[in-house]
Amino acid sequence: MHRGIYLGTSAMLVQEKMLDVVGNNLANVDTSGFRARVAVNKSFPEVLVDRVERYTIVDEALNEELGDRAFFPYVRGRVPIGSISLTNVMSETAMSQEPGVVQQTDNPLDVLIDGEGFFVVEDGEGNTFYTRSGHFQKNAEGQLVTHSGEFLVGDGGRVELGEAQKVSINERGQVYADGELLAQLRVVDFESPTYLKHVGRSLLSETPDSGEPREVETPRIVSGALERSNVQVVLEMVRMIEANRAYEASARAVTIQDELSGRLYTSVGKPS
């Protein structure tokens, strides 16, 4: 088995995933409330690896040999290879908790959370998500929604503005419509918010590692301002360059390993 090839390929896959993370961060540099993700790599003294195989014909002897690992024609499956020492793999991605830059808009429906916490929103199917983006607006049905159309959730469910002409949100997250208290925005926090999962732009969903949402009893809301993305463009560009160079180095290592293997086969195969 060419362990050197598998080791180099593993490093290439890590850098490919790193580029995906960086690319997603850069794509959302102008998304309000977006928080960058950071790739977390781990080195292991020894890991088990396998390869993907696709059998194109039915081979009874092969199926009997594979047993529980037998595959149907044209179906891909995994076959254990063995172990590789001193390899590096991407373990997970974590969300940065650094706050974004504050942008003054003077729009009464633009708000930001001063401190930790997330607004609660839901989509048209009733799925609940969380966001730092406070760029809200009134839709055609008189509901308070995010800039991407998710419904803002208050203490009584979706915030219905009706035919109100003047809407404002105070520093405690209370929504007033034409001078009357209409709803209290829900703001929640998590035990480990860094493990929240991005599901699209600034939307997040809970995970077992993040813990369940906890209500923030006294949220601090700033009206007429937005929290911009916390993506640092220069830092992300540096990470992109590093990942590209590491990928090229790993690809070169795979090529060298393949060339050496070819020379070995040629040398061993020559008659004495």
Residue in 78, 69, 30, 73 with CA at minimum distance from that of residue 55: 73
> 233-269 vs 3-27: helix axis angle to the nearest 10?
160
For 17-54, the pLDDT digits (tens) are 888 999 999 998 988 889 999 887 666 555 555 666 55
Structure tokens, 129: 């998500």
Structure confidence at residue 227 (pLDDT): 92
Structure tokens, 26: 């850069």
Residue in 92, 115, 90, 119 with CA at minimum distance from that of residue 194: 92
Enumerate residues 6+ apart whose C-beta is below 8 A from 76. 52, 53, 54
Residue in 50, 53, 49, 48 with CA at minimum distance from that of residue 77: 53
Structure confidence at residue 131 (pLDDT): 93
Mark the ranges of the chain whose per-residue pLDDT is less than 50.
1, 56-58, 70-75
For 88-99, the pLDDT digits (tens) are 666 678 888 888
Beta carbons of 153 and 159 less than 8 angstroms apart: yes
Q: List, as one string, the DSSP characters of 191-254.
A: SSGGGPEEEETTEEE--TTT---EE-SS--EEETEEE-----HHHHHHHHHHHHHHHHHHHHHH
Q: What is the pTM of this model?
A: 0.73
Residue in 140, 119, 129 with CA at minimum distance from that of residue 183: 119
Strand partners, 269: none
Going 68 to 69 to 74 to 75, the CA torsion angle's sign is: positive
